């Protein structure tokens, strides 16, 4: 699964401590398609620059450089960014997937590892980042103080026909939530993933909002969910998987009520849910109420 907000934020926080202030001495690119500009130009711009800051927007990491440029890195499905100090090596089984390596003047390195090769790196002028992300039409950051219940309710009102699962995963609605945490948020709120936005009660909207805040914060504190290939910037697994209530647990008993967790396909993606805690009758009621209108 693609790293979501908790995983990317974990990597951001670690790299902020590990690489800010370091000067790039060299860069090796083993997979040219990963870098979305000519390699000669990429090397010329970043070599000799210093990392000023590491930030995040949605699932994209931003390395601000001292020369007015920023490196934008999207890990996509299987990307990793693993830091190693001088003398430390990366796991041999991962070495063949190291498509991009940054070498710093203190002989530490940052490996961009990507098994499935869907990730990318772009260069954008730092002063143009705001315009760049406007074009991406990304929704608000759910963990920012500015993301209030009022703003969340207003966004919901614009998408009355959307199913709750798809709404939460749409990056134009809210940034950073994907398949894993949309399932967990809806379980927390007791909402079936097929439930339409138009039929949500104010109390249910509040539960979803609270779930977004609570689950994303907790998952970030535990450094994310190591499902599939995710590792943090130190090459270690996150610790949130044991806390997952429904995602990836099809056929297992619900920890809350004992019912069997089920899975349903929505727009080509899987949604995991508890049929008792997130009753399907909500969906039927939704269809009836919409038809009545």
To the nearest 10 degrees (0 to 180), the angle between helices 202-221 and 179-189 is 130
Residues counted in the chain: 293
Where helices occur in the chain by DSSP H, the ranges are 5-19, 39-46, 92-95, 129-136, 149-157, 164-169, 179-189, 202-221, 281-292
What's the gap between Cα 45 and its chain centre?
28
Share of the chain above pLDDT 70, in %: 94
Inter-residue contact 163 to 200 (CB < 8 Å): no
Taking only the tens place, the pLDDT of each residue in 187-220 is: 999 999 999 999 999 999 999 999 999 999 999 9
Q: Looking at residue 288, what is its pLDDT?
A: 39
Q: Looking at residue 281, what is its pLDDT?
A: 65
pTM over 0.85: yes
DSSP 126: G
Residues tagged active-site = 3-4, 59, 269
Place of tokens 């390699």: 39
Measuring CA to CA, which residue among 5, 7, 1 is closest to residue 176?
5
> Phi/psi at 202 (nearest 5 deg)?
-55, -40
At the topology level, CATH places domain 5-136 in: N-terminal domain of MutM-like DNA repair proteins (3.20.190)
Neighbours of 272 (CB within 10 A): 26
Domain spans of the chain, in order of start: 5-136, 149-292
Q: Looking at residue 286, what is its pLDDT?
A: 45
Q: Looking at residue 227, what is its pLDDT?
A: 86
Q: What is the CATH number of domain 149-292?
A: 1.10.8.50
């Amino acid at each position: 699964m693609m790293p979501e907000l908790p995983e990317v934020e974990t990597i951001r926080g670690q790299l902020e401590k590990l690489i800010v202030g370091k000067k790039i001495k060299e860069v090796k690119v083993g997979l040219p398609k990963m870098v979305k500009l000519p390699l000669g130009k990429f090397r010329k711009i970043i070599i000799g620059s210093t990392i000023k800051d590491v930030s995040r927007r949605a699932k994209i990491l931003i390395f601000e450089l001292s020369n007015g440029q920023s490196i934008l890195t999207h890990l996509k499905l299987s990307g990793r960014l693993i830091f190693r100090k001088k003398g430390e090596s990366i796991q041999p089984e991962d070495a063949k997937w190291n498509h991009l390596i940054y070498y710093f003047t203190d002989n530490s390195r940052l490996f961009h590892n990507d098994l499935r090769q869907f990730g990318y790196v772009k260069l954008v002028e730092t002063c143009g980042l705001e315009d760049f992300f406007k074009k991406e039409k990304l929704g608000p950051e759910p963990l920012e103080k500015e993301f209030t219940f009022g703003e969340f309710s207003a966004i919901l009102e614009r998408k009355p026909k959307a199913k709750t699962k798809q709404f939460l995963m749409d990056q134009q609605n809210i940034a950073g939530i994907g398949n894993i945490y949309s399932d967990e948020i809806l379980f927390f709120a007791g909402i079936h993933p097929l439930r339409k936005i138009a039929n949500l009660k104010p109390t249910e909207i509040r539960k979803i909002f609270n779930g977004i805040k609570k689950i994303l914060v907790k998952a970030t504190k535990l450094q994310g969910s190591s499902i599939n290939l995710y590792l943090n910037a130190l090459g270690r697994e996150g610790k949130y998987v044991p806390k997952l209530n429904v995602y990836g647990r099809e056929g297992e008993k619900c920890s809350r009520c004992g019912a069997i967790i089920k899975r349903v396909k929505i727009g080509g993606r899987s949604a995991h849910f508890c049929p008792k805690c997130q009753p399907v009758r909500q969906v039927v009621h939704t269809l009836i109420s919409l038809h009545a209108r």
